[in-house]
Chains A and B, each alone.
Chain A
Amino acid sequence: MGQFVQFAINGLMAGAIYALIAVGIVSVYKATKVVNFAHGYLIMFGAYFYFTFAVIVPGQPWAPAWLASWQPGWMVEMRGELPMFSPVAAVLDWVANLPRILLGLFGALVCNAILGRIIERVLMRPLMGQSIFAMIMVTVGLISILSGAAQLIWTADAASVPYIAPNMPIRFELFGTMIFLFGTDLVNMAVALLLFGGIVAFVKFTKGGIAIRATAEDQSTAYSMGISVPKVFSRAWVLASTTGAIAGAILATRNGISPSLGLFGFSVLAIVLMGGLDSYVGVLIAAMVVGVLEAMTQWKMGGGWAEIVPYVTVLVVLVWRPHGLMGQKEVERI
């Protein structure tokens, strides 16, 4: 039982990150009806922006030393001879990195928001009123552009970035089994769920959110009711890009940074289809189910199956409910 709980928690932690990635795809779809195939690559850019501001900038000769590593006397003394992975050492190491972590997150948020805005303004808005298919094809083309641009700017070099939260080991006994957790994964999960909840609340309870929902129902009616549809489009892309920046930073801390991060978007696309393209709650459930299924399959059947079983489940769900678990069934009026 203890082992079951261990792998379930591992799966939930992975699922929360899937959910944070998925929220961007759902937001853009809800507002514009465009399935953004390039979302994984927006996330990859978020990761690279985090890398730029948290690793490259602090490493420059002109950057102040405290930005790369803040080492006040009291902390150096406290750190002393502590073993590398002791909880206190992990917290102190994180505090030393805090200036560049904050700069990295701030830089990633701002730059990704600008990138999302540029994509929407230059590529998507001119296509407003045209077929949705054309806009979807533009996002497919964006994959090559973003992937190539990232390699041009940052090269294909793999690199690592500082953890967003203290990465201390957490151990406790449950049902006679020792449970191991990474501190930073728990914080990542909390951040992902908070952001997810925040976005759902924004869409449900704020004026801007209501505009997104109205536009999703019917663009022409939304226009006639005085809603600025271009603004809604823009807002949805910025929302997707900024959540993507956080998701990218978290992914980079877990997996290191490389152009292959963009591929995550495709596995998450399957999760979004399973949950329902226009349902935040459905996508959250689907992300958690896939995360837990992956962990459980890895535990019981090994890695070869872990890459198949969850996606077979996605297919089964889609056969059963073509619009996903909680997706809205589209009614064609003739």
Chain B
Amino acid sequence: MTMNRRSFLATTAAATAATGTPMILRAQPKEYVLGASLPLTGPFATAGQLVAPAFAMAAKLFNDEGGIAGTPIRFVTEDSGYVPQNALNNYQRALASEGKNMIGYFADSTGAMKLIAPELKGENARIMGSTSFASELADPATHPYQYLSGPTYQSQFDILLQNIKNEGGQKVAFIFSNTEFGRDPIEHGRKTAEELGLEVVLEESTKAEGADIPTHVTKLAQSGADHCILQGYVTGVWPQLIGGARQFGLPVKFKGTFWGMEKLIADRITAEAGPFLEGYEGVMPYRYFYDREDAPRYQQYAELSKAMFAGTPLENYMSTWAIQTMCGLEIAMKAFRDTAEAGQELTADNIAETLANISDWDSGGFFGGPVSMENNAIGTGRVYGYNPEDGLFTPKSDWFTV
């Protein structure tokens, strides 16, 4: 092709138009990336393997909806083995390989969040959600890029204590694992109990695994508590404590927080050891998956699950752990989309500002009504109780906002 005056002018005009495009359009990648570390092996492999498919579902759902202002999003998940250092390595690797295309990250523990937090500076900052409800993270001054997809453990204690007060309880025992996770809300819980006029008659810390059940149950019996809050356990210790107390005929009502509220675990305990979890209650930030009449978003998940996970246990039930992850991804997506729609570049600072200002958000049924971000957390939840006969957790209170 020979270059004449006309073609020269046309080429020059096209080149000028291209180079003169506003910065935001030039900076927009072909796809965005959200990285994640999941415990696919190690002590929480069960939870990790139940959560991993949620990312596949999220990719399908969010991209079918148009991604982020028309740009698709890709999820990259890696195994952490539930080791925070591995999660940090995964984060750094994802940052190096995906660069600016990576606009968010999802970590699998409080430890990982804390370890990665100092890395979130300047060019390396990314918005970050996780499985953690650690109270320490809900502070935009110290953790501006990290958020919780529900209430902190302290808020969960507030909800439970208010519920105990409403039930006419007077003496409360706190039994918790001797871990950061276990100790998180204890001091705060003591203060809240005092404000509500409840007497804390026992603060008992146990080993996170292999606790000496007879000794702890004996102390609970001697304390004279009418209610007992269990904190800092996932699959072990809490069922044995409840079983032990029931054997001794203690009339104590047991309450748990998010990680002690999974139906799959309660069902398994019931199948193996009998229906002794009858009456067990706890705080849950979200609706259970089967309670989706007023949750249009859950209905979408259910349809997708049927299509994507046919023939697997995920086809009909999504664990609370997966719901927590999906809620975290929904919050991140809302912040990404709102930032893009406002014509702002998707930098960590812009996204963090949008996320911190989420207010009256209709989550599509995760929570009881519209919710707002406060201190990068959503302080809402309600009390559910377990019925071993039908294996369902059903609501025992209204939604509390704290």
Q: Which one of B18-26, B103-111, B209-217, B375-383 is at the interface? A: B209-217
A7 within 8 A of B: yes
Within the complex, which residue of B178, B219, B236 is in contact with A304, where a contact is CB–CB below 8 Å? B178
Are B248 and A160 within 8 A (Cβ)? Answer: no
Chain A residues within 8 Å of B209, by CB: 255, 258, 260-261, 263
Chain B residues within 8 Å of A168, by CB: 247
Instruction: Give B121 Cβ to nearest chain A Cβ, in Å.
Output: 34
Chain B residues within 8 Å of A307, by CB: 178, 207
Chain A residues within 8 Å of B44, by CB: 156
A141 within 8 A of B: no
CA–CA, A264 and B211, complex, Å = 11
B239 within 8 A of A: yes
Are A255 and B240 within 8 A (Cβ)? Answer: yes
Instruction: Give A206 Cβ to nearest chain B Cβ, in Å.
Output: 34
Q: Which one of A272-280, A293-301, A322-330 is at the interface? A: A293-301
Are B211 and A55 within 8 A (Cβ)? Answer: no
Instruction: Give B130 Cβ to nearest chain A Cβ, in Å.
Output: 20
B140 within 8 A of A: no
Q: Which residue of A lies closest to B221 (CB)?
A: A180
Chain A residues within 8 Å of B273, by CB: 160
A321 within 8 A of B: no
Within the complex, which residue of A167, A258, A264 is in contact with B236, where a contact is CB–CB below 8 Å? A258
Chain B residues within 8 Å of A263, by CB: 209-210
Q: Which residue of B lies closest to A305 (CB)?
A: B205
CA–CA, A220 and B21, complex, Å = 87
Instruction: Give B276 Cβ to nearest chain A Cβ, in Å.
Output: 6
Chain B residues within 8 Å of A261, by CB: 209-210
A3 within 8 A of B: yes
Are A258 and B235 within 8 A (Cβ)? Answer: yes
Are B236 and A303 within 8 A (Cβ)? Answer: no
Are B244 and A182 within 8 A (Cβ)? Answer: yes
B203 within 8 A of A: yes
Q: Which residue of B lies closest to A83 (CB)?
A: B249
Within the complex, which residue of B45, B204, B221, B240 is in contact with A256, where a contact is CB–CB below 8 Å? B240
Are A84 and B45 within 8 A (Cβ)? Answer: no
CA–CA, A180 and B221, complex, Å = 9
For chain B, give the interface size range: 35 or more
Q: Interface digits, A160-172 against B, CB 8 Å rule (1 contact, 0 not)?
A: 1110000111010
A221 within 8 A of B: no
Are B219 and A156 within 8 A (Cβ)? Answer: no
Are A156 and B212 within 8 A (Cβ)? Answer: no
Chain A residues within 8 Å of B206, by CB: 303
CA–CA, A157 and B45, complex, Å = 7
Q: Which residue of A lies closest to B248 (CB)?
A: A180
Chain B residues within 8 Å of A84, by CB: 246, 274-276
Instruction: Give A325 Cβ to nearest chain B Cβ, in Å.
Output: 23
Are A180 and B214 within 8 A (Cβ)? Answer: yes
Q: Interface digits, B146-160 against A, CB 8 Å rule (1 contact, 0 not)?
A: 000000000000000
Chain B residues within 8 Å of A199, by CB: none
CA–CA, A256 and B236, complex, Å = 7
Q: Which residue of A lies closest to B209 (CB)?
A: A260
Are B218 and A254 within 8 A (Cβ)? Answer: no
Q: Is the interface of A mostly helix, strand, loop or mixed?
A: helix
Within the complex, which residue of A11, A156, A256, A260 is in contact with B46, where a contact is CB–CB below 8 Å? A156
A120 within 8 A of B: no
CA–CA, A100 and B42, complex, Å = 29
Chain B residues within 8 Å of A182, by CB: 213-214, 244, 247
A46 within 8 A of B: no
State which residues 183-209 of A face B: CB under 8 Å: 185
Instruction: Give B50 Cβ to nearest chain A Cβ, in Å.
Output: 11
CA–CA, A178 and B213, complex, Å = 17
Are B246 and A13 within 8 A (Cβ)? Answer: no
CA–CA, A181 and B218, complex, Å = 9
B222 within 8 A of A: yes
Chain A residues within 8 Å of B217, by CB: 180
State which residues 213-265 of B face A: CB under 8 Å: 213-219, 221-222, 234-237, 239-240, 244, 246-249, 265
CA–CA, A13 and B236, complex, Å = 20
Q: Which residue of B lies closest to A253 (CB)?
A: B240
Instruction: Give A285 Cβ to nearest chain B Cβ, in Å.
Output: 20
Instruction: Give A156 Cβ to nearest chain B Cβ, in Å.
Output: 4
Are A93 and B214 within 8 A (Cβ)? Answer: no
CA–CA, A304 and B179, complex, Å = 10
Are B43 and A260 within 8 A (Cβ)? Answer: yes
Contact A13:B214 (CB < 8 A) given known A159-B272, A256-B236, A256-B239: yes
Are B272 and A85 within 8 A (Cβ)? Answer: no
B268 within 8 A of A: yes
B57 within 8 A of A: no
Are B249 and A251 within 8 A (Cβ)? Answer: no
Are A160 and B178 within 8 A (Cβ)? Answer: no
Q: Which residue of A lies closest to B205 (CB)?
A: A303
B192 within 8 A of A: no
Q: Which residue of B lies closest to A297 (CB)?
A: B215
Within the complex, which residue of B41, B248, B268 is in contact with A151, where a contact is CB–CB below 8 Å? B41
Q: Interface digits, A84-107 against B, CB 8 Å rule (1 contact, 0 not)?
A: 110000100100000000000000
User: Can you report 6 residue pairs joining A to B where beta carbons are below 8 Å apart?
Assistant: A13-B214, A159-B272, A169-B247, A256-B239, A295-B215, A298-B212
Contacts A156-B41, A158-B236, A168-B247 known; 20 new A-B pairs at CB < 8 A: A10-B212, A84-B246, A84-B275, A85-B246, A151-B41, A151-B42, A155-B46, A156-B46, A157-B45, A158-B234, A160-B273, A167-B247, A178-B221, A182-B214, A260-B210, A261-B210, A298-B212, A298-B216, A298-B219, A303-B205
Can you list the 3 inter-chain pairs with the closest CB atoms, starting with the nearest?
Answer: A303-B205, A158-B235, A156-B45
